[in-house]
Structure 1
């Protein structure tokens, strides 16, 4: 009887020990597997995020170049009209026909995905669109209105136009590096507009 009890104790002890060992190694294997799976998922997510960032950057980059060209053209038209009237700043409805600043299409559609981009790039793109909208807002106000009794100066249009063209450049360079674009986008012509800004700001400073 004693021998039987010893045998049962030994057998049960060995079985329990084996079960504990098996459970322990199984648990360790599960933890390691979960960690490896999480690492792989993280790498996959990072890769998808990087690809998404490139796609969003490429779309916004192309639209910004077109919008920047349009806003530069608008500034040049305003500046040439300003010079043509001998600094009288006379504008009529025809000026609106020469300046066509369209609504951005991709920027509103991709607004929810701006988080994929670096913060400084997001801020620069947001500022660009704010400057662009400022130009759109002020151009119609340059038109002379009977009975209004006053006129708006061209700096209301030319300053945000200048900012839209030039302040976005660092962000464009970053996007070009991200997309491996070899040739940097050239600045559109703003020569006449910059001359008018310089003249008007000089006069503005002298009047203070």
Structure 2
């Protein structure tokens, strides 16, 4: 939860590094003027983090700024096809592609998660339980994670996978419908 300005600045600095920094000034200017996807995603993500910050505040600041930032986040999300409720993701979120990314507000995702687009993280329609996802999880394009499942740290979820059972062994690759372990990332070729 981003509840201090220091946490907000640290989170924004970490996430901005992927989208903006490391490029020449000319490249950044062209991307900004052309409204390239990296710029649009960064604007959304920045609004998401500010929404989280204002949600954690109290008093008049919360009652004025939180609805305004949430509205801005939702409007940007509508254009990009992103529906992410604040405080679902820990710092370090990277979104490679937009379009139909839906994350249930009760799902909890650890640090440095990567979404490749067209993902759904939510309940299974039978119960209200949602996924608990560890740190450094890479979720492939079109992957769906549903139900009260637990995903360990350092897991790669293959493109198009449907994950409806827990995977508690860290550092594996899972894929398929329904998802199953394909290999261990570090010891198998």
Q: Fold-level match, TM-score > 0.5? A: no
Richer in strand (by share): 2
Bigger relative CO (Cα 8 Å, ≥ 6 apart): 1
Q: TM-score, normalised by structure 1?
A: 0.26
Q: TM-score, normalised by structure 2?
A: 0.28
Point out the structure with max Rg over C-alpha: 1
